[in-house]
Amino acid sequence: MTTVDLPLLPLGRGTDLNSERGVECPGDLPAPSDPELVARAQAAKDKLGDRVFVLGHHYQRDEVIAFADVTGDSFKLARDAAARPAAEFIVFCGVHFMAESADILTGPEQKVILPDLAAGCSMADMARIGQVEDAWDALVDAGVADSVVPVTYMNSSADIKAFCGRNGGVVCTSSNAEVALEWAFEQKAAAPDGAKVLFFPDQHLGRNTAVLKMGLGVEDCVVWDPHQPHGGVTVEELRAATMILWKGHCSVHGRFSPAVVDQLRATVPDVQILVHPECTHEVVLKADLVGSTEFIISTIEAAPAGSTWAIGTELNLVQRLARTHPDKNILFLDKSVCYCSTMNRIDLPHFVWAMESLAAGTLVNQIEVDPETARWALVALQRMLDLPGKSHRD
């Protein structure tokens, strides 16, 4: 593997005695998962049989992914959940907003279970329904609300998806943000001063998609900060903007920096930089390729042997890619460990507990969206699933 004079994790391969990181352990390591827990998880899954369907997001730990019936990014998992009407239990190995979406997309008799209720998402928490309603009121007062389509990233609570459903808006994921924005701008194409989008909670996905895919400039975007009076923007700025971006971000993807990209380009021959669109605009501008987790995986699968990649997304996925593609040189685009702490809440003990409880007839950790919220959230989710053309592209 390439020797890099950088404090980057070489993902378990190689030895660098000058660094505290990346030093290989000689000899055989014991199994990462307790074999007894693995056997209990398998026994519970066997006992439940077709009554249970296990979904695993790509950022989940390996020991949990091992029990997933399907893996995917948030768009694929939403579709997969909706396509399993026969399963009585959907065990969602991911985070809370994904389980909520699965509950909305599945039948009333199906139960969605999140093995650890502490598996939330800090980005989703950055937009609360009361704050979103205040922002909308400000758009009404500024006389622009009639030109605005609200677009929420999948990474948001069900009540915010319902807000979008009620107000002519749509849900998007990192796989289909471009198609969703195209759709949104078409809805208000006749607006006298042009269509606008209120995009939440991830300002970076909104800005990256608007600028890199829709041909807008950064100057066409304003940032609404829910913690500032009137969002920190003037009425004139709201009227002039095409994209009104919510001041939210992913604490995991927000860590990647342009400086590390520069260092890598200067020191690692032929390195290609592959990042998720939740990274900042500055990082995305310096990357070779940008796309959702499904896109990142398919890019690495199609890459030639011997090629070198520095990947800017969650570490469980990057480590899995490095392990499953030993013929490619895969680096992590950060100087320190960068797991998503809430995704990591789903571990084998919680998974075993949830599965054994279900197998014993006890329903635990059900995620249930109230019917009125679910009804409107489904409108916005269905608009996403019905998006024209390729609704799952990067």
Residues that bind ligand 13P (CB under 6 A): 73-75, 121, 155, 173-175, 250, 278, 292-293
Site for ligand SF4, rule CB under 6 A: 59, 95, 121-123, 155, 250-252, 314, 340, 342-343
Nearest distance in Å: CB 108, ligand SF4: 27
Nearest distance in Å: CB 75, ligand 13P: 6
Nearest distance in Å: CB 73, ligand 13P: 3
Binding partner of residue 357 among ligand SF4, ligand 13P, none, CB cut-off 5 to 8 Å per kind: none
The structure tokens 């239990």 sit at: 89
Task: Enter the tokens of residue 284.
Answer: 């995305």
Nearest distance in Å: CB 296, ligand SF4: 13
Binding partner of residue 74 among ligand 13P, ligand SF4, none, CB cut-off 5 to 8 Å per kind: ligand 13P
Residue pair 334/8 in contact by the 8 Å Cβ criterion: yes
Of 148 and 310, CB closest to ligand 13P: 310
Binding partner of residue 251 among ligand 13P, ligand SF4, none, CB cut-off 5 to 8 Å per kind: ligand SF4
Residue pair 268/2 in contact by the 8 Å Cβ criterion: yes
Nearest distance in Å: CB 275, ligand SF4: 13
Task: Give the angle 53-111-373 at the CA atoms, nearest 5°.
Answer: 125
Binding partner of residue 308 among ligand SF4, ligand 13P, none, CB cut-off 5 to 8 Å per kind: none
Binding partner of residue 222 among ligand SF4, ligand 13P, none, CB cut-off 5 to 8 Å per kind: none
Cα 126 to Cα 71: distance, rounded to the nearest angstrom: 26
Of 152 and 174, CB closest to ligand 13P: 174
Residue nearest to ligand 13P (CB): 73
Binding partner of residue 246 among ligand 13P, ligand SF4, none, CB cut-off 5 to 8 Å per kind: none
Binding partner of residue 100 among ligand SF4, ligand 13P, none, CB cut-off 5 to 8 Å per kind: none
Of 67 and 75, CB closest to ligand 13P: 75
Nearest distance in Å: CB 347, ligand SF4: 15
Of 174 and 208, CB closest to ligand 13P: 174
Of 173 and 257, CB closest to ligand 13P: 173
Nearest distance in Å: CB 207, ligand 13P: 16
Task: Enter the tokens of residue 135.
Answer: 């922002």
Task: Enter the tokens of residue 103.
Answer: 């509950």
Cα 313 to Cα 295: distance, rounded to the nearest angstrom: 12
